[in-house]
Structure 1
Amino acid sequence: MSGRHRLTTVETVEEEDAWLFTVRDDHDEDVEVFLVPCADEADGIEAWINSCTHEAQALYREDVGAVVREGSIVCPKHGSAFDTCSGYCDNGPAAETTLPAIDITVEDGQVYLTDDDVRFLYEGPSRNDDDGGDAPSSTSHLRF
């Protein structure tokens, strides 16, 4: 469905700590995906679907980006922390779950979407919802 689509550069993802884009899946749904640096490998970048596994809460929000601390993506609602390289969570309400991944390839400092189950639509958040998309539905008690 996808083929190969150039997304951005490794440098951009590393400078911004995350980079958001929207794809269309094989169920004809728009899905937000974000890229994060993975320190476990050179030019390491991983792509995760933008939704906490505990509740459908966006991990990357347009107003603040993704909260990445010490190699983990932190859910802004309940504080579950997902490893940036594996997507695995070992704490909080999402413990023992793993974020769904999207296939990408990194070559010569460029990041390409290579997942056959999705098609690139555009950079940025999904435009399906006029009230802020998948932003958390309640105010978080977490402070960073």
Structure 2
Amino acid sequence: MQLLTTIETVHEKRSWLFTVQDQYGEKEEVILVPCDDGVEAWINRCTHESQRFDTGRGAPIRDGQLICPRHGSMFDSCSGYCDNGDAAETTLPAVNITVNGNDGSIYLTDDEMTFVHEGGIDEDEDEDEGPDSTSHISL
């Protein structure tokens, strides 16, 4: 089990983004969103065209609905189900979490995923994507 954050933090920020690695080594973004008095965890992309809900500034949520920023499909934050727009009749892929009832701590308990870091995939500073400047080039 990997400690992620707390229910209080998710409800205060309205969403909490983190990156995981699946059993095949692929990275995936996950969002924690408020649900009634608790929290749910969903893969951070719309089922219609894989549009990210949270791009690093928080997920758009209104009246208990997670909103796709591209086409406006709305997913119930508790069930992940969408009954409207281009993503109608689909459900967001869930990620298993456990909440400690004593202190509200949230743990990643999905056997197929390993916590990498808080934030999105693009915020991974451990990846070597080449030099930050071209000053190493000489003529």
TM-score by length of 2: 0.85
Query: What is the root-mean-square deviation of aligned Cα atoms in Å?
Result: 1.3
Identity %: 59
Q: Does 1:122 align with 2:129?
A: no
Say how many residue pairs are matched.
122
Structure 1 partner of 2:85 = 92
Counterpart contact for 1:52–1:58, Cα < 8 Å: yes
SS at match of 2:116: strand
1:18 to 12, 15, 18: 15
CA distance in structure 1 between the partners assigned to 2:50 and 2:34 by the alignment: 23
Listed as ranges, the gaps of 5+ residues in structure 1 are 130-144
Structure whose alpha-carbon radius of gyration is higher: 2
Displacement of 1:82: 0.3
**Contact 1:30 / 1:128 at 8 angstroms: preserved in 2?**
no
Gaps of at least 5 residues in structure 2 are: 125-139
Bigger relative contact order, structure 1 or 2 (CA pairs below 8 A, ≥6 apart): 1
Shift in Å, 1:127 = 3.1
Partners of 1:128 and 1:25 lie apart in 2 by 18
